[in-house]
């Protein structure tokens, strides 16, 4: 039996420029998704929604349900005759803009590949995860989710040359710069609004505008990428006032392109009125989660709870990414 885990993530600054050749400063959260594979008398897949036995050719075709992740991975690797039980579970809030589905996909791919003695490095796994989500599941997504769930930790990542999606073997790798060992303080609060929203629904219209040459969108994402570069320096210098300024600019620019959702906007206002120097989306809009920079975390959390926040999450700057059996010391 093999079990792999992968962490969710919260975008600190730079999102969503990761799908447009930009850059992000992002960090793992402690919540994880888990994939387990073990021998069985037939091929069965299970998750919180139940189970499915896959036998016939049609069983492996996508059906628009909560089992398509399994079907896609098995179809991609042409593993139609496996006799295994594959289970996926998660602690990451569903459709909260925290890369929950991507973490599950990354853990699932790694579990299946390891069970069938197929090797890959972290860069390839990150690219394969995004590739399957985009091309097989039809999820409009950038690269941040896949890279953060696979690599884990606190990272500054540049996606230069990745403005246009390519075939898997032609994708240039992103540049991943781990920062966890340089930072001893992360004064952020991450809160889930409790409202579910599929990130692809938020990103797709903006992606279409960008592809059509909308100068406003193109300029906006270039500016947001620049904020991430400045944010890295602010984080390392513990210049929280500058970081707050950059986070607010990130949110303001994104707001000029698309409404982030009534509850998100409300929680951002509440946080900034109760001790937070700045707050912004941590992931998808119109639902999802926000991240607040606050030097008064208890005051900020109390106000957010009273404002209807559903769940707080904790950053993990040393999160291991995709890992076997949840053991931080195990080799990839």
The three-state DSSP-derived secondary structure of 114-128 is HHCCCCCCHHHHHHH
Strands 175-178, 44-47: pairing kind: unpaired
Q: How far apart are CA 65 and CA 102, in angstroms?
A: 16
Is the distance from CB of 103 to CB of 7 less than 8 angstroms?
yes
Two tokens, residue 27: 């960090």
Is the distance from CB of 186 to CB of 176 less than 8 angstroms?
no
Res 327: pLDDT: 64
Alpha-carbon distance values, 305 to 182, 250, 270, 273, 281 (Å): 32, 24, 10, 14, 17
Is the distance from CB of 198 to CB of 288 less than 8 angstroms?
no
What angle, 0 to 180 degrees and rounded to 10, lies between the N-to-C axes of helices 144-151 and 100-115? 60
Res 328: pLDDT: 56
Phi, psi of 44 (to 5 degrees): -130, 140
pLDDT digits (tens), the chain, 332 positions: 999 999 999 999 999 999 999 999 999 999 999 999 999 999 999 999 999 999 999 999 999 999 999 999 999 999 999 999 999 999 999 888 899 999 999 999 999 999 999 999 999 999 999 999 999 999 888 899 999 999 999 999 999 999 988 999 999 999 999 999 999 999 999 999 887 654 545 567 888 898 899 999 999 999 999 999 999 999 999 999 999 999 999 999 999 998 888 889 999 999 999 999 999 999 754 457 999 999 999 999 999 999 999 899 999 999 999 999 856 555 56
Q: How many helices (H) and strands (E) does the chain have?
A: 9, 12
Instruction: State the virtual CA torsion across 226, 151, 31, 270 in degrees, nearest 10.
Output: -10
Strands 289-294, 276-281: pairing kind: antiparallel
Two tokens, residue 242: 């500058």
> Distance from first CA to last CA of the chain, Å, rounded?
16
Residue 69, C-beta contacts closer than 8 angstroms, at least 6 positions apart: 88, 101, 104, 105, 108, 137
Domain positions in the chain are: 1-332
Res 325: pLDDT: 80
Two tokens, residue 269: 């206002």
What is the topology classification, in CATH, of domain 1-332? Ribosomal Protein S5; domain 2 (3.30.230)
The DSSP 8-state label assigned to residue 13 in this structure reads E
Neighbours of 262 (CB within 10 A): 12
What angle, 0 to 180 degrees and rounded to 10, lies between the N-to-C axes of helices 262-272 and 297-306? 140
Q: How far apart are CA 224 and CA 315, in angstroms?
A: 22
Q: How far apart are CA 129 and CA 283, in angstroms?
A: 18
């Amino acid at each position: 039996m093999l079990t792999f885990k992968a962490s969710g993530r919260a975008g600190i600054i730079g999102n969503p420029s990761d799908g447009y050749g930009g850059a992000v400063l992002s960090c793992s959260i402690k919540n994880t998704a888990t994939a387990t594979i073990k021998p069985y008398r037939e091929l069965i897949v299970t998750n919180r929604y139940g189970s499915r036995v896959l036998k016939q050719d049609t069983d492996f075709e996508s059906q628009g349900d909560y089992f398509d992740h399994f079907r896609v991975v098995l179809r991609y690797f042409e593993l139609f005759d496996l006799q295994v039980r594959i289970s996926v579970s998660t602690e990451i809030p569903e459709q909260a803009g925290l890369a929950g589905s991507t973490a599950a996909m990354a853990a699932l791919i790694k579990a299946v590949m390891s069970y069938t003695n197929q090797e890959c490095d972290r860069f390839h796994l990150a690219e394969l995860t995004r590739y399957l989500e985009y091309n097989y599941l039809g999820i409009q997504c950038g690269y941040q989710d896949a890279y953060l769930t696979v690599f884990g930790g606190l990272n500054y990542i540049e996606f230069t040359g990745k403005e246009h999606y390519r075939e898997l073997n032609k994708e240039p790798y992103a540049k991943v710069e781990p920062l966890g060992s340089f930072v001893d303080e992360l004064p952020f609060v991450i809160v889930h609004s409790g409202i579910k929203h599929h990130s692809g629904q938020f990103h797709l219209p903006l992606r279409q505008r960008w592809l059509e040459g909308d100068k406003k969108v193109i300029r906006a994402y270039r500016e947001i990428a620049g904020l991430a570069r400045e944010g890295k320096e602010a984080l390392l210098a513990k210049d929280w006032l500058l970081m707050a300024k950059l986070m607010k600019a990130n949110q303001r620019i994104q707001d000029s392109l698309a409404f982030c959702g009534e509850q998100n906007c409300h929680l951002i206002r509440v946080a900034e009125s109760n001790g937070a120097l700045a707050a912004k989306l941590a992931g998808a809009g119109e639902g999802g989660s926000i991240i607040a920079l606050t030097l008064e975390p208890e005051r900020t959390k109390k106000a957010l709870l009273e404002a209807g926040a559903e769940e707080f999450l904790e950053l993990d700057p040393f999160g291991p990414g995709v890992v076997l059996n949840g053991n931080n010391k195990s080799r990839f």
